[in-house]
Chains A and B, each alone.
Chain A
Amino acid sequence: MSLRIYAIAYLVFLYAPIALLPMFAFNDATIIAFPLSGFTTEWFNELLTTKALHNAVRNSLYIAVITALLSTTLGVCAARAGAMYNFPLKRGILGLVMLPLVLPEIIVAVSLLIVAVQILDMGLSNWTVIAAHVLICTPFCIAILNGAFQNLDPSMEEAAMDLGETRWSAFRLVTFPLVMPGIISSLLIAFTISLDEFIIAFFLTGANPTMPVYIWGLLRFPASLPVVMALGTILVALSVILLTIAEIFRRRGLARVGAKDKGGFL
């Protein structure tokens, strides 16, 4: 019983900062502090009229969509190879692909910065951010897709091939529908990670900042903080919605291949 109370207290600790967001987003004061003074939607209106923000959001969406597609594609390859085939150096190869999960993000950021600017001399753009985001999102995609692929019975594809399908059409008609929920879940997770990622984007962003980089710039100006709170409220709400959908699809995918839910994304 006391464990349950502790666990609930822990959840409160986890959610405390996020719970403050909407309070200040609707608070009619320029200082982010208690006591609250009154209700206003002014900060949200200001979001609608800030041109620079719209550009940053558009940039981030572009980066996040491409990152989600590429990292999920790479994730499908790795998860399928890991679950269905045996090949030399399997652990080492998959280990390298999963490495960004534990690597300090600043290492990824500076190493790609050196390659892009000093070695390839190509300058920074949205594509340098995408390259790094695909790298760090792929391990998360693999972790989610592993759940879908590892519970798959390989004999189903073999049966389809025995009945005359090619290897590709067997995959497309048999395996693909079964892992589809996992793929959707992976797309949404990668999208969410990329949309929120700051540490790497700050190093690799070109002339057009991404949304987190834009927010970082705002944090220095006390006057713009209420607007940041409003933006944060929208972002958190969006993240929660996307993650909930991702979780629903992940569970549906497990149910489809008849696996027991062991819980969690990782």
Chain B
Amino acid sequence: MWGKLTATETRRGLLMVSPPFIYAILMLAFPIGAIFLFSFWTQDFMTLDTTFTLQNYREIWEQPIFGALLQRSIFVSGCVTIVTVILAFPVAYFVSFHVKSERKSLWLFLITIPFWTSYLIRVFLWKVILGYNGVINSGLLGLGVIDEPLTFILYNVNAVIITLAHAFAPFAILPIFVALEKIDRALLEASQDLGESKLTTFFRVTLPLAMPGVVAAVLIVFIPTIGDYVTPELMGGAGGKLIANMIQTQFLALNNAPLGAALAIVAMVCVSAISLLFVFVNRRWLRGRS
């Protein structure tokens, strides 16, 4: 039996990959299938009704709160993505083009460290920084720049965007860095030999070649930010709650798992559709390169 399983290279490969693959089927594919199924059921307090119905989806469509939250979530994720990627690109460019190759991994290490340290505490610290008597306000008051504390930076959407942009920064830098590293430096010299300036070389050679990294960075920031409920909960106040907070409430507080499941499905479908559209729009930059 064992001999037969390991007879060819293909079978050995499949056998080798089967533990993580089966794990992903059982713990990822099957559970996601389960939420999908669940979203067509209904729950009245504790009793689960398993007749197929579109009631949850109808409720999401009809009640304006869900649409508003979803819209705000996509807006926040979009802003976070734009801010993160624009701020990250020059850093990735600097590390790839201006740092000596033996020091590159030190820079990347320094950039990634904050990403791995307690997420919850990092989010809370932003509250300390942006708060009413926080670091920024007490600093500006002390310097006499402002007369009373700024209030537009805590418990609203701005605060959520700042905090998330900080949390996802390394995620955006790494794919851009990898794409920049792949660029053949001779191309840049060739471009300048052929009469382009440094600036036009950047826009006509470097940036198009870096686009696969930029697209990857956009996706790797945009998709996970939709699922965050910690930052809006701590930083968003009443007007800064997002769709993930609603999903969490439906599951844990209101005990309406089917509606929560339907919300999760709707959020995932929206995010996937936007992501696919984004990839489609940028397809000419991605073609023919891996």
Contact = CB atoms under 8 A, between A and B. Distances in A.
- Considering residues B118, B133, B181, which has the most beta carbons from chain A within 10 angstroms of its beta carbon? B118
A261 interface: yes
Contacts of B30: 115
> What secondary structure prevails in chain B residues at the interface with A?
helix
Given A106-B244, A262-B181, A97 B166 contact: no
A216 B120 CA distance: 7
A87 B10 contact: yes
B32 interface: yes
Contact of A111 (B32, B108, B110, B169): B32
B109 interface: yes
Given A17-B125, A77-B16, A110 B251 contact: yes
B219 A106 contact: no
A38 interface: no
B95 interface: yes
Interface stretch (A7-15, A42-50, A175-183): A7-15
Given A17-B125, A21-B125, A235-B118, A3 B94 contact: yes
B20 A77 contact: yes
A263 interface: yes
B122 A113 contact: no
A156 B230 CA distance: 49
B120 A16 contact: no
Interface in A100-142: 100-108, 110-115, 118-119, 131-132, 134-135, 138, 142
Interface in B256-290: 257, 260-261, 264, 267-268, 271
B224 A105 contact: yes
A62 interface: no
Contact of A4 (B38, B94, B268): B94
Given A102-B223, A196-B119, A251 B28 contact: no
Interface in B45-94: 48, 87, 90-91, 93-94
Interface of B: 6, 9-14, 16-21, 23-25, 27-32, 34-35, 38, 48, 87, 90-91, 93-95, 98, 104-105, 107-114, 116-122, 124-126, 128-129, 131, 133-135, 138-139, 166, 169-170, 174-175, 177-178, 181, 219-220, 223-230, 234, 244, 247-248, 251-252, 257, 260-261, 264, 267-268, 271
Interface of A: 3-4, 6-7, 10-11, 13-18, 20-21, 24, 32-35, 73-75, 77-78, 80-82, 84-88, 90, 93-94, 96-97, 99-108, 110-115, 118-119, 131-132, 134-135, 138, 142, 167, 189, 192-193, 196-199, 203, 212, 215-216, 219, 228, 232, 235-236, 239-240, 243, 247, 251, 261-266
